[in-house]
Amino acid sequence: MSETPSAPAGQGAAPADRAATRAPELDPGRMRERLAALDPVAAANPAAIRVVRAPGRVNLIGEHTDYNEGFVLPAAIDLEIRIALAPTRDRRVTLTSETTGETASFDLDTIGARTGSWIDYVAGTAWALAEAGVPTRGFRGLLVSSLPRASGLSSSAALELASAWALTGIGGGAIDGMTRARLGQRAENAYVGVNCGLMDQFASSLGVRDAAVLLDCRTLAHRAVPVPLNRYALVVCHTGSSRTLTASQYNARRAQCEAAVAALAGDDPSIRALRDVTPEMLPAVQARVDAETYRRCEHVVFENLRVAATVEALAAGDMGAVGRLFGQSHASLRDLYEVSSPELDALVEIAVETPGVVAARMTGAGFGGCTVNIVERGAVERLSERVRSWYPARTGMAPRVYAVEVVDGAGFVGG
């Protein structure tokens, strides 16, 4: 795969500001006014206020493959985190969440330990940038989000990427988009304490407007994969329940994958990750690990193959094959990796029963959060109506439905 260059500063603001059209609270002018009203430092020089954006992501296919050095196919979406910021001459970061009204701060020279709150993602990013020798600066800021938290749409990665741009300024610290993504991952792994893979930060940093992006998580090669969005829409359905896959559960699944690799590498040192395991090798895996660990491995091995098959099907315009691959992926996540939930299963069942829906599966780490659906544009309202009508009766919960657009990765908003 050829490597896609990172978006230059400001490219993230598409000619039509899709996110601000969807969520007026993300409008850059409004955000500048709100920050100036909140903060005397910002009010003293309103012309210096800038707005940075970082999108969430929906993963079309390739779940729990990233930390196994496999393949993923995410797309950046117009549910976003934005920070309006006024640069300061001191070394302090002060940020107010518009959603909660909470203000948090830290000193760039004495960041300290994590606190267990949302500011950890900002502080962790500052810590990772400093560790890498990237210059940072203080700012006063207002944090605004249209991303539902704990939804599996990568609000944490979006906050890390928005923070990386806010902390380094217009030039982005003279680092490329992949480096910025890896520093966001470093923040989450080593500072926040979640042993995640690279996919979420990659998608938020290097998303491509109107395309998914295929990433090889070993080599970091990546390329845009066109999605026929003129005919089909991406629809995200939120279960109404927060994603409850805890850090310990996530880390436990990763540890199972690593244990299987260690068991196989004793006989074949060329096996560095489950990425290197083929279907023909699964009997050897089964002989060396417990039944639960084997199920995890089986999912990862075949999920990597499903990513490649989905890319081929999209290139061929074979949406029927895409639908079958989505269905296989969801069943595998439910039965083998065991990260689905009754609510996610209900949303997928409703979608596949709806004419015009060509593909449906859970997306994200699991246990709540969202499904991703590829839907004929003329059937989007039909799916929305059915989800809003049928889902509460099946689960007792209230869903949310978003017809999302695919956008560029993080950067400063122009204008």
For the chain (415 residues), the mean pLDDT of every run of 10, in chain order, is: 35 61 90 96 94 97 96 97 96 96 97 95 98 97 90 89 96 93 97 89 97 97 96 96 68 93 94 97 96 98 98 98 98 97 96 98 89 98 98 95 96 81
Q: For this structure, is 268 an active site residue?
A: no
Let me know if the fold of 18-226 is the same as that of 233-404: no
Confidence (pLDDT) at 245: 57
Say how many C-beta atoms besides its own lie within 10 A of residue 341's C-beta. 20
> Which one is catalytic: 17, 27, 120, 200?
200
* 3-class secondary structure, 68: helix
Q: Assess contact for 157 and 128: CB atoms under 8 A.
A: no
Read off the pTM: 0.90
Q: Does domain 18-226 have CATH number 3.40.50.300?
A: no
Ordered by start, the domain boundaries in the chain are 18-226, 233-404
Q: Assess contact for 162 and 141: CB atoms under 8 A.
A: no
Q: Which CATH architecture has domain 233-404?
A: 2-Layer Sandwich (3.30)
